[in-house]
Structure formats: structure tokens, C-alpha cells
Chain A
């Protein structure tokens, strides 16, 4: 099983490495969104590990996008420094928000996080200076890198940015994977299943929840910063409720139980969106997402990642039944 999984990740990585060679121009954007949204979806899962569902995660991503753009354009930061700084800004804002939000649980946390996110988003809408109001921030520069002997690498070139994003995504996934296997990740898991028991053996539940929330926000904000430098713009509508609900759909359809779930969900459903666009039924996408979401919850509550296991169980049961009969 572990071998199969490792093989799967390696194949996916190899495929991602060669993908630019046969992608059409319109699919290039999709491939890049996919890479960055994998990070967002995976970090979203980190919050759900503790049993809480945040509806402010895409806004956190927006915080990274805005922060990075403003650091570069208003304060003259280098893009390479602005992006990690923006991720820290996202983490800091998450830390501040954690004080009111983690007084809440379950449905209350969900609505609270949604409200906090909307308040931030409305602030971008309202203040033209510095956030640019509804049009947002335009002409955000792409990163550049001067390598001695190679000259200047300009990342506004798509394939260069693609490999940058690929490296970023792989690094983020690896870090989140390590984190989940660490003591922290195991504690989060304990909190999810038995929060009172964890508390009674001396785990500071609130502190660990905050930690997961802040780390997840760091990754989401970093991905958001990458977005803004790729697209060259950031506006409030890119980070609205619709996008948040899409991320929710990806994560739930993929499955939150294992690490692979959100990645599978994001890749398959983003690919499906692209197919729908090519076929020309783009306007039905939300409804198709809705139907997939409902069918998943009804028939495959653990998500797509549980499908192989279920099929294997089913086969084993059949094999077991046949000799008996």
C-alpha cells in the first residue's frame, strides 16, 4: 500500500514535470491554478484535521495576494521577499482572528470564519487606497531572478513560472506531510476524535487548533501571493464565497481522511471544469459541482480517496463468498 502510494505520487510528479510540453495555451492557466489550489485545498484539510471547518480560507489566500502586491508596489520589496512576507501577514491575521474564532465550535465556527472573511473582503471593496476598491490592484510584477552566468530569468514567461509553482507546490505538500506525521499532526488527530480526552491528558486544545489554523493560513496566503504575481492582478471577487465553496467541494469530494484526498479532488474537479468549458457547458459547472457534492455525501461520504479501498473490500468479499456457495 505504501509502495503503491509512493508510486502514485512519483507518477503524478513525473506527469506534472512533462505536462507543459503538450498543454494548449488555454490549458496553461488551468494547470497553474491546479498547482496553487492543491496547496490551498491541502492547507484547508489541515484545519479540518481538528474537526473545524473554516469558510474564510480563500479570503486568507486573498490576504496573501494583496499583501504581496502591496509590499512590492508600495514599499518596493523584491518579489522574492514579498511573497514569504505576505504568507507571514496571512499567518498573523489568522492568529489575530483565532482569538474570537476559537471561542466557537462546529457550526458557530463556520459562520464566524465566514463573517470574518467577508469583513476583510468588504474592506478591500471599500478602501480604494491602498486596496484599489472593486478593481483591485493591477500590474503586479512577476518575479525575476538574475543568475550569474545565465543572465536574468523572467518569470512572466509561463513555463518558467510553471516550474516555480510546481516546485512551490511540491515543497508545500512535503512540509504539510511531514507536519502531519509529526507530534503536532498526531495531536491534531487526537483532538479531532476525542477533544475532551486529549484535554484531560494535558493537551492544550485551543493552542493546537490555533497552531493548525495559523500554519494552514500561512500556506494559503503563500499560494495567494503566487497567484497575484502570476495573474498580475488581485481583486475582491477572486476570493469570494463561490471560490471558497469550490475549494470545499474539491476537498469533500476528494476526501479529508487521507493526505491524498484533497489533491485528488482538486485535480479531478479542476480537470472536469476544463472539460465542461471545452464542451461549452461552462454555465452548468456550479450545478454539476452541486450534484457531484450531493452524490459524494450520499454514497461516498469518505470521498473519492476511499474508492480503491471500497472496491478492494468488495472484491475480497466476493472471493470470500464464492467458495462458500
Chain B
């Protein structure tokens, strides 16, 4: 029983790593632009497909394929920001509707390029498992370990960027108060672009890293974006630390309920948990009052 609990903890940590990547990206975009990006799951899906093409079809090395996928999805992010979100500054609902349009377009474009058919199964780039903390029964497949390490590295880099660089400060200033930031000479257009690039790159990276582990289909984004919504609501929309902490809390909850009861119960309870948080503390566990 102890083994099972420990193993479930490890699985939860793994799940929280990519969930945090998604949630942090969404929060960054919401914080700076005030837009809820409904197409965020589709960015993850595109990231996974790029790995399918580069790695599984063209035979690139896996890390290079992941890098390629991050670049491509970040470019899609640039396009979305400039073409769709920029004209909608100050109109959050308009931005959301734009992202719904982008969601449809990305899904159809993927179906058109890659075909619908069966889910793409991508062979793992790294075989075998590692035993953690010297306990033989406590294992994590190497491929999943890569996801955890890469996601953690990405989050740490983002944290360093936001706290140590001038541009990072500008980004946080915009998230706190766009008008005051603009008065200080910070270009909102530029920070919005950077936020969108980082958000898209994180989503694309998550999709790329997960591609060999999960089933890759044009509609795979839905589940991830729902989870990310729950996480950012629980953590407080607009709070990056909240998003990371809520990712861990939520995935532990979800993984334990899935392991000990079943997956659909976990999904229903997760949504109810979010409704409860919305009712009890609408600004989320870490959100500030004025962001609501």
C-alpha cells in the first residue's frame, strides 16, 4: 500500500510538471493581455504534431524535434497575437472569441495536414525506467522523467527571466497595471508579444515532450485546456506562483482520485472543486482582489 501511495505521488509530480507549463502560459497571457486563450490546448496539440513529423517521420533527434516544435508554436503565437489579439486590446470578450476562431482553424489545419485516421503513436525516444531514491519498486519511465526535468527547467528559466531582467520586470508591471506600466514608457504591444511567445512556447513544448507518451490526435487539446482552466481558477487568474502551486495541488488530487477510484470521478470532482473555489474565493487561492 505504501508503495502504491509513493508511486502515485511520483505520477502526480509528473502530471503537475506539464500541467504547470500549460497553466503558467495561460496566466501569463491573461495577466498581460486580459485574454483567456481558448486555443491554448490546440497549441499543445500542434506541438505534439510537429514532433510527430520531425522526430517520428523525418528521424530528427528527439531534443532537436522538441526545439523545432517550440519554435514553430511560438511563431504561431506571434501570428495569433499580431493578427487576432492586438486589434482586441481592451476587449477581453473579443479576444476570447478570436481565440475560439483560432481553435477551429488550428484543428482543421492539423486534420488537413496530418489526416484524421487513428491516433498517432510515436515511439519513445528514451527506453526503460529509472528507480527513484534507490527504491526499486518506485519507478518512473525515462521519457516521463525527461518531461519533468525539462518542464522544471523551463519554469525556473521563466522565473529568472521575470525576476532578474528588465524585460521581465516590464512584463510583471504590465500584468499588475497596464496603464501605469504604459505611463512608465513600457510598450504594451511588445510585452503582449513576449507574453504570447512564452505562453505558446510553453504549450508547444509541453505537447512536444508529451508526444511519445500520450495519444496524439487533432482533438487532444481539449482535456489539457480544461485542466489548465481549473488550475488557473483554483490558483487565481493572474498569479504565476498560484498557477504552479495549484498545478501541484490539483494533479495530486486528480491522480489520487484516478488511482483509487476512477478517472471520470476524478474529472467530475475536479470541476466541482473548481466551482467551490469560485464560490468561496472567486479570486483563487493566490489571486489578488483587484485582478478580479
A interface with B by C-beta (< 8 Å): 53, 99-100, 103-108, 110-112, 114-116, 118-119, 122-123, 125-126, 241, 245, 248-249, 252, 283-284, 286-287, 289-291, 293-294, 297-298, 301
Contact = CB atoms under 8 A, between A and B. Distances in A.
B101 A103 contact: no
A286 B108 contact: yes
Nearest to B34: A107
B67 to A, nearest CB: 28
Given A100-B278, A108-B292, A298-B87, A122 B100 contact: no
Given A104-B278, A107-B36, A119-B272, A293 B264 contact: no
Contacts of B101: 289-291, 293-294, 297
A297 B94 contact: yes
Interface residues of B, number: 41
A129 B222 CA distance: 26
Nearest to B262: A126
B97 A297 contact: yes
Contact of B229 (A114, A249, A252): A114
Given A297-B88, A297-B98, A298-B87, A119 B105 contact: no
B275 A119 contact: yes
Contact of A126 (B88, B229, B265, B274): B265
23 contacts: A100-B275, A100-B276, A104-B282, A108-B282, A110-B96, A111-B36, A114-B229, A115-B271, A118-B267, A118-B271, A119-B271, A126-B265, A245-B100, A248-B97, A248-B100, A284-B108, A287-B109, A289-B101, A289-B104, A290-B102, A294-B101, A297-B88, A297-B98
A125 B264 contact: yes
B4 interface: no
A283 B111 contact: yes
Contacts of B87: 298
Nearest to B278: A112
A245 B111 CA distance: 19
Taking chain B's interface residues, is the majority helix, strand, or loop, or is none over half, making it mixed? helix
Interface string B166-205: 0000000000000000000000000000000000000000
A284 B105 CA distance: 9
Nearest to A126: B264
Contact of B268 (A126, A286, A287, A298): A126
B259 to A, nearest CB: 17
A129 B274 CA distance: 26
Given A100-B278, A116-B271, A287-B104, 13 more contacts: A99-B279, A110-B96, A115-B230, A115-B275, A115-B278, A118-B226, A126-B264, A126-B268, A252-B97, A290-B103, A291-B101, A293-B104, A294-B102
Contacts, number: 109
A31 B264 CA distance: 36
B131 interface: no
A287 B124 CA distance: 32
A114 B233 CA distance: 12
A301 B116 CA distance: 34
B107 interface: yes
B25 to A, nearest CB: 16
Contacts of A286: 104-105, 107-108
A64 to B, nearest CB: 21
A112 B97 contact: no
A126 B272 CA distance: 15
A322 to B, nearest CB: 32
Contacts of B104: 245, 286-287, 289-290, 293
B84 interface: yes
Contacts of B96: 107, 110
Nearest to B226: A118
A93 B143 CA distance: 45
Contacts of B272: 119
A100 B233 CA distance: 14
A10 B93 CA distance: 34
A238 to B, nearest CB: 16
A18 B94 CA distance: 39
A93 B182 CA distance: 45
B237 interface: yes
Contacts of A114: 229
B92 interface: yes
B100 A103 contact: no
Nearest to B225: A241
A235 to B, nearest CB: 15
Nearest to A119: B271
B108 A287 contact: yes
Contacts of B230: 115
A111 B229 contact: yes
B222 A241 contact: yes
A126 B262 CA distance: 10
Contacts of A289: 101, 104
Contacts of B102: 290, 294
B271 A290 contact: no
Residue with the highest number of chain B CB atoms closer than 10 Å, among A111, A283, A286 = A111
A126 B229 CA distance: 22
